[in-house]
Structure 1
Amino acid sequence: MQRFIIEREIDGASELTQEQLADIARTSNAAVDSLGVDYTWVTSYVAGNKIYCVHETDEVETILEHARRGGFPADLVSVVANEFGPQTAHAFVG
């Protein structure tokens, strides 16, 4: 499976309540379950008027179908080329 970053423009995203986020999560989970293919919603981040989601599946078309079934925007979908963090500094000590 590939990992994707999805950018969703949603006015007032940072003002969504925990209850509203829970409703969105339930809708997303139902959309994932309905796809019938390998699909993992890893996590989402809310920042300003955007929600950034990390999902794993095989095809970008599946990401777009999840968005359609859930009624979510998918303004930008990008394949994650690589991941790194602070621990990466120690991976290749030469």
Structure 2
Amino acid sequence: MPKFLIERDIPGAGHFTREQLVAISESSCRTLRGIDLEVQWLTSFVTDDKIFCIYIAPDEEVIRRHAFEGGFPANNITLIHNVVDPNYADA
């Protein structure tokens, strides 16, 4: 199944409290369960004004639906073609 990088513009995200991040996580998971059990949220990276999420999903449309129903943005959705890490340097 395809893997996607989702860029969410959320001003002040880097200053969210642990409780706020937990609430966002719970909302996201609850929304996903109601949409498609095949979709997997792998991880997210919180920066000053954005949250970057990695999802496995059948297509971009289900990610857009998740964002709409969950009430959070999906400003850019990018298909991930490959992943590299430092282990490639040892090959």
Q: CA RMSD in A?
A: 0.8
Cα deviations by residue, 1:50-90 (Å, 9 ceiling, x for unpaired) = 00000001110000011011101000000001100000112
* CA deviation after TM superposition for structure 1 residue 9, in Å: 0.5
What is the match of residue 52 of structure 2? 52
TM-score w.r.t. length of structure 2:
0.96
Q: Distance in 2 between matches of 1:35 and 1:68?
A: 11
Structure 2 portions without partners, runs of 5+ = none
- Taking the TM superposition and a 5 Å limit, the aligned residue runs for 1:18-33 are 18-33=18-33
* CA deviation after TM superposition for structure 1 residue 36, in Å: 3.0
Number of residue-to-residue matches in the alignment:
91
SS state of the match for residue 51, structure 2? strand
TM-score w.r.t. length of structure 1:
0.93
Which 4+ residue blocks in structure 1 deviate beyond 4 angstroms?
Answer: none
Question: Which structure has the larger Rg over C-alpha atoms?
Answer: 1
Structure 1 portions without partners, runs of 5+ = none
- Among the aligned pairs, what percent are the same residue? 37
